[in-house]
A = this chain, B = another copy of it.
Amino acid sequence: MGSVEGLDGCVVPAVHPEKVLQATANAPGADELGRVSAVFKLLGDPTRARLLYALLEAGELCVCDLAAATSTTDTTVSQALRLLRASGVVAGRREGRNVFYRLSDAHVRMLLDVTREHITHDPKSGAASVTEATS
């Protein structure tokens, strides 16, 4: 059994050192990883996801319409949008008393599309057995 220097500089045992090195070499740093998981976490809430899919379909909606489209209160919508706006996922445009929101990034649009495709085209759900080799 070999050993590999971990991310924290501490030496940890490893069964397959080369593989571990290969994994750590191009791995995202702590900062990058934090940002990545932050984005996923934002999309990981059903309420926020519903808002984003609504925006994906309609293009641009104000808070009250988003509340209507997702069957929630304007307060809940506003709070969700605050987080999404803080991460640059959505952008707002003020027009009179209304603020219209829209998806502000093509990447996010792609994430929403790909994942929906992933869900609808995969039987999944049933856990994959350990013994099964889905090569």
Residues on A lying within 8 angstroms of B by beta carbon are 4, 6-8, 10, 12-16, 19-20, 22-28, 32-46, 48-50, 53-55, 57-58, 60-62, 64-71, 85-88, 90-94, 98-99, 104-105, 107-108, 110-111, 114-120, 122, 124-128, 130-135
Contact = CB atoms under 8 A, between A and B. Distances in A.
A133 B93 contact: yes
Contacts of A126: 88
Contacts of A37: 43-46, 48-49
Contact of A36 (B32, B64, B119): B119
A111 B107 contact: no
Contacts of A19: 58, 60-61, 65
Task: List the 4 closest A-B pairs by CB distance, nearest first.
Answer: A41-B44, A107-B118, A40-B44, A23-B58
A8 B71 contact: yes
A27 B12 contact: no
Contacts of A39: 44, 115, 118-119
A14 B68 CA distance: 6
Contacts of A49: 33, 36-37, 40
Given A65-B20, A114-B107, A15 B53 contact: no
A114 B110 contact: yes
Contact of A14 (B34, B65, B119): B65
